[in-house]
Chain A
Amino acid sequence: MLMKTAITVLALAFALLTNVVTLAQDGEEPRAPYFQSRAFNVPILAGWDDQSGESFAQFHLAEAQATIRTTTRAERDPIAAAEAELAMLTSLRAPPPSYSGKVNLADGTWHVLVYDLEEETTASVMARVAADRVAVISFIERDPAARTAVLTLARSDGSHEVASREMIFAADTLAATAPSDLLQEESVTLPSGEWAVYAGEGMTVMGLVFGNDSYVALQQGEQGDLAALADAYNRTLLGFFITPDNRHYLALALAVVFVILGALVGSLFWRERGLRKDLTVLEELARAEE
């Protein structure tokens, strides 16, 4: 009878599993390609030249002379890590930052830094402590005709759906431009979201609201690919994540599985042993009576 039951269950299981496989294959959609490493993961930027190595993700857009690079560094201090990263990338010693602040994102507190390294090189860096290292995302623009910076700012007023206050703050801080010099243009929709656009003489500012923060990109001089740059940096920052190290939880879960299965199978042996002992006692009693 058990054999018949087993065959029936196997047949049902086969039918169920065939259905599961079909569903799983139907549900498989193409995913955004990711640069993956043990230390971190970031989206691969389509249309950008991929110059990534084993321990860093680096993408370069030749027409904008812009590079977005993500890595982790051994320095314990985020600002020191950011400046060491820039020194390594540009061979330039970082001057005091044009802007320095902090912002709390979902994965932790990031330091936000903007440096004017030399006449044609501007660097925007975000850095945060990640376990025993510091994660650094750098945006470096070397176009002599333009100056481009990207900033992440905590929203000063959560009721506004447009990052107008943060855009004006960025223009004032980085370009010393009075708010009255900026005019609001139509918004632009990019893969990262709908960005507001403010324009002034020789300057464009773009802003995106996401959660409690605003993402601002500012470009001075010859107007070029600000939308593409802002979008790429934003997707890198929001797509950045570190694979958690939770091997000890897996070990604990496996220990629980083995303990329960061991107890189940062990109880069969234990009861079998008890049964044999009882039988021996009964046998001895029977002999004694004889």
Chain B
Amino acid sequence: MADKAKSLPGELRIEGPPQPRALRLLTVVTVLGFAATLVLGLGLAGVDIQQGEIQRIFYIHMPSFFGAFTAFGLTVAGGLLYLARKSEKWDRIALAGVEVGLAFSLINLLTGAIWARPIWNTWWTWDPRLTSAAIMCLTYAAYLMLRAGIEDAGRRRAFMSVYGILAFVTVLITLFIIRIVPETIHPMIVGASPQKAQGSFEATSGVVIALIPSLLLWLTLMPITIIWHRVRLEERMEALHRLKMQALSE
């Protein structure tokens, strides 16, 4: 591909630098870590005698939210740094953070709904935590739609940086709402559950042993690895776009 790029007018290259060794290593560790956490959560952790097998989804449900937290946090960081330095690389990180965070949020939301069906006897209820999580997903889905609708690159980057920073409020609300609004049936695993919580279980040592590696993986390795790949792809996509514009102008 590098050879192809060299033959193009203007000597433009869309191939970025070769994949860093750290990224390759991170990818391998992430894939192996994901497999290991599945073995821990689905195989080695005991069955919850009250909730049954469905409780095991908790080892993905809760960590996926924290993965989204990291990704959306990087969107905030990317947005702030873009506004301060006007460098496109920060905008790429912000965009990648939204895509990855939205996927993780959907995992969180849908696995929660599937857990709720046998435990709460409903797929969905307008509980404060569930409602705020749904609003969070919609807010970030709107980010991607709005971004696609702004033609001017400079305005798009600046506007979406501000949007990405403000949208993080929905993440914080989702995170803290069950500690603020007592009228929730959503359980808390760490700390006392709200009085009306349905389907609680204790963070026993068995649960913690399966949960911690999964939480660590989803909080750090998974979002960072995928975002890194996405940022590299965005660099090449932007370069290709410039190449197309150049070809059209000639």
Contacts and interface: CB of A to CB of B under 8 A. Distances in A.
B190 A23 contact: yes
A20 interface: yes
B111 A1 contact: no
Interface string B215-248: 1100110001011111101001100100110010
Given A247-B53, A282-B243, A286-B9, A252 B224 contact: no
Given A9-B220, A13-B220, A260 B247 contact: no
Contacts of B208: 20-21, 24-25
Interface size class of B (residues with CB under 8 A): 35 or more
Contacts of A160: none
Contact of B216 (A2, A17, A250, A275): A17
A283 B190 contact: no
A241 B51 CA distance: 11
A25 B205 contact: yes
Contacts of B7: 283, 286-287
Contact of A31 (B22, B202, B236, B244): B202
Interface string B44-62: 0001111111101100110
Given A21-B212, A34-B49, A5 B224 contact: yes
A252 B112 CA distance: 12
The interface centre, meaning the residue of A3, A249, A271 with most chain B CB atoms within 10 A of its CB, is A249
A22 to B, nearest CB: 10
Contacts of B228: 2
A238 interface: no
B103 A246 contact: no
A279 B117 CA distance: 48
B13 to A, nearest CB: 10
Interface stretch (A201-209, A229-237, A262-270): A262-270
A279 B216 contact: no
B212 A271 contact: no
B244 A278 contact: yes
Interface residues of A, number: 54
Contacts of A254: 42, 57, 60
A253 B224 contact: no
A264 B223 CA distance: 11
Contacts of B14: 275, 279
Interface string A1-32: 11101100110011011001101110111010
A249 B189 CA distance: 21
B89 interface: yes
A93 interface: no
A3 B20 CA distance: 11
A256 B107 contact: yes
A275 B77 CA distance: 28
Nearest to A24: B203
Contacts of B73: 9
A33 to B, nearest CB: 12
Interface in B135-165: none
A276 interface: yes
A119 B115 CA distance: 52
B49 A5 contact: no
23 contacts: A2-B228, A5-B77, A20-B215, A23-B190, A24-B190, A27-B203, A28-B203, A245-B52, A246-B52, A249-B53, A249-B57, A253-B61, A253-B111, A254-B42, A256-B110, A268-B233, A278-B244, A279-B5, A279-B243, A282-B244, A283-B4, A283-B8, A287-B7
Interface of B: 1, 4-5, 7-9, 14, 22, 26, 42, 47-54, 56-57, 60-61, 64, 70, 73-74, 77, 89, 93, 99-100, 103, 106-107, 110-111, 114-115, 117-118, 189-192, 202-205, 207-208, 212, 215-216, 219-220, 224, 226-231, 233, 236-237, 240, 243-244, 247
6 residue pairs, one from A and one from B, having the closest CB atoms: A24-B203, A246-B118, A253-B114, A244-B52, A246-B54, A264-B103
